[in-house]
Structure 1
Amino acid sequence: MLRGLATVSFYAADVKTARAWYEELLGIAAYYAVPSAEEPAYVEFRFGDFQCELGIIDAKYATHQVGSPAGAIVYWHVDDLEETVDRLVELGATVVEGIAERGSNTGFRTASVEDPFGNLIGVMNNPHYLEVVESLKSA
């Protein structure tokens, strides 16, 4: 059965440019690149409370069409949804779905953007995520 998010893979025709964009967004450098840091076909970041992995793969290796948003949206918990959406747009992302309340007074709020490389990024306020993090601290 599914046990948890391991790696999210995005595609980009220019991995070096995508790496630089995500380094700016995340505030960290990619820790891994193959075949080399100078000419990467794949780079990877680890970040967040659970050291989630985000990989960026050269679009020439995709088994599907790349460059326009499609498919599932992975939502990343953020503490300040408005600030995060503003920052993504400032870096060149395009809003796909503006901030939306999910349910009545549940605290779940989402938004999504398309990065400059055609990948969808979901961001959200997720009270359940915060409960899990807190429960692990006290375990």
Structure 2
Amino acid sequence: MTETPRLRGMANVSYWAADWQAAKGWYTELIGFAPYFLRDGYAEWRLGDHQDELGLIDSRYRPPGTASGPGGVVLYWHVDDVHGMFARLLALGATAHEPPQDRGHGFVTATVVDPFGNLLGVMYNPHHVEILAAKEAAVVPQG
């Protein structure tokens, strides 16, 4: 008997940029450190509580038929302060797409378009906080 294939979590999100060098600089400034992996036309950072991977790909490698510009899918990065991060993203040159919105039950979201045409979402997600707290509690020695 084989197990039914299932999604297990985000492994990598990739953004495209026609001006890859400028985008690499912009994301390095936003993230706060240089990518851990570099090759011509590709940079990758590991960041956040789960060391999620953000890839930045030169648009010359975009597969034919791949849409450019803001699309219909938004990956939301968890942040502790949506309003503060939204303001920081705008200060770095992003354009407001959807200002911070209270979605109820503690969820707050916002989206911007980065200077390279990609949708970038930020979210305060109480479930993310709960999961992280549970994992941290599980590794704390009981004494």
TM-score norm. by structure 2 comes to 0.89
Equivalent-residue separation in structure 1 for 2:82 and 2:58 (angstroms): 29
Paired residues, number: 131
Query: Percent identity, aligned pairs only?
Result: 50
Residue 71 of structure 1: how far off its partner (Å): 2.7
Equivalent-residue separation in structure 1 for 2:81 and 2:54 (angstroms): 21
Residue 67 of structure 2 is aligned with which of 44, 65, 69? 65
Contact residue 102 and residue 108 of structure 1 kept, 8 A: yes
Equivalent-residue separation in structure 2 for 1:124 and 1:58 (angstroms): 26
One-letter amino acid matched to 2:45? F
Q: Which residue of 2 aligns with 1:94?
A: 95
TM-score norm. by structure 1 comes to 0.91
Residue 15 of structure 1 is aligned with which of 20, 24, 46? 20
Larger of the two Rg values belongs to structure: 2
CA displacement 1:106-128 (0-9 Å, x = unmatched)? 11010000000010010011110
- For residues 106-125 of structure 1, the aligned pairs below 5 Å read 106-125=105-124
Residue 65 of structure 1: how far off its partner (Å): 3.0
Unaligned ranges ≥5, structure 1: 35-39
Equivalent-residue separation in structure 2 for 1:7 and 1:125 (angstroms): 20
One-letter amino acid matched to 1:5? M
CA displacement 1:90-116 (0-9 Å, x = unmatched)? 00000100111113xx11010000000
One-letter amino acid matched to 2:59? A
CA RMSD, 1 decimal: 0.9
Secondary structure at the aligned position of 2:25 is classed as helix
Equivalent-residue separation in structure 2 for 1:71 and 1:7 (angstroms): 18
Q: Which residue of 1 aligns with 2:45?
A: 45
One-letter amino acid matched to 1:84? M
Equivalent-residue separation in structure 1 for 2:43 and 2:21 (angstroms): 9
Residue 30 of structure 2 is aligned with which of 25, 50, 59? 25
Contact residue 15 and residue 43 of structure 1 kept, 8 A: no
